[in-house]
Amino acid sequence: MLLGARVLKAAGNVDSGENFQVYADPARHPFCLCWVEGRKPR
C-alpha cells in the first residue's frame, strides 16, 4: 500500500496569485490544496 501524494503542479510564483498546488493521491485521483495569504495591517 502506498502512502502520500505526489505533486502534479507546484504553486506558481508567490506574486502570481496562484496559491494552490495540485497533487495526485496513490490511486492517481487529483486534488488541490489552496491557501490565502494574510493581509498586512494598516
| pLDDT digits 0-9 by tens, 10-23 | 887 766 666 889 99
Percent of the chain with pLDDT over 70: 69
Identify which has the larger pLDDT, 42 or 7: 7
Q: Under a CB-based contact definition with an 8 Å cutoff, are residues 35 and 17 in contact?
A: no
The closest alpha carbon to 35, from 11, 7, 2, belongs to 11
DSSP string for residues in 7-19: EEE----GGGT--
Q: Does position 1 have pLDDT exceeding 60, yes or no?
A: no
